[in-house]
Chain A
Amino acid sequence: MRVAVQEAPFDFGAEAEAFARGAEGAGAVVTFTGVVREADSGAMACMEIEHYPGMTQKALEQIATEAMSRWDLTDALVIHRYGRLAPGAQIMMVATAARHRVAAFDAAEYLMDYLKSRAPFWKKEILQDGSADWVAAKDADEDALRRW
């Protein structure tokens, strides 16, 4: 299991390839990557992601450890960036490896649901006109946790 919180970009292809190659005993590997999308309110210059340095790594490790034991994963990977990201940039990725596909998919969805609402990151959309808006948490994201 590996959890990385970093400002620098990551190489999604290389990470996915290395993860899949190292996934001994697994019959399924699932990967997901989140990308900065354009703001609903207008042309976005960038997305600024703030985090709580002391807590982020620990919170992500707790979430990943829970996923590992709940789905008996052979491995899990979480990479999450912070700082200023341009539209189209990759914000984060998760990868899960399990003996069977359903466990790998479910664990990846679980990781995503918990990352959204329980990891201390906050997104701010900075528009080209200089205005900025904090992205509000959605009730649907909180509801998504209840299915687990």
Chain B
Amino acid sequence: MEVLYFAWVRERIGLPKERVETSAVTVAELVEELKAREERYAAAFADLSALRVALDQELAEFDAPLAGVREVAFFPPMTGG
């Protein structure tokens, strides 16, 4: 699946998107896999309450299933308007 990062999540991880092969069942499991990779991922995902997630461009929760999902995006709370 494609994993996208925005705002300070993108800056902390150091890239806007990447292709990830995973067998994670939920978003939370994917986050654990990413955190285990490298310190920059661990730093970006340290506080999930400061993050939001979208699955195929719709806002979702961290316990949401990943089955059939093609695009996951992680970002801070939005500041539009």
**Which A residues are closer than 8 A to B by beta carbons?**
34, 50, 52, 54-55, 58-59, 80, 91-92, 112, 115-124, 134-137, 142
Contact = CB atoms under 8 A, between A and B. Distances in A.
Nearest to A139: B77
Contacts of A55: 54, 57-58, 73
Nearest to B4: A52
Interface of B: 4, 6-8, 54, 57-59, 71, 73, 75-81
Contacts of A118: 59, 78, 80
B79 A135 contact: yes
Chain A contact surface mostly: mixed
A52 B57 contact: yes
Contacts of B54: 52, 55, 120
A136 to B, nearest CB: 8
Given A50-B7, A52-B73, A124-B7, A116 B78 contact: yes
A112 B81 contact: yes
B81 A115 contact: yes
A137 B79 contact: yes
Contacts of A80: 80
B6 A50 contact: yes
A117 B78 contact: yes
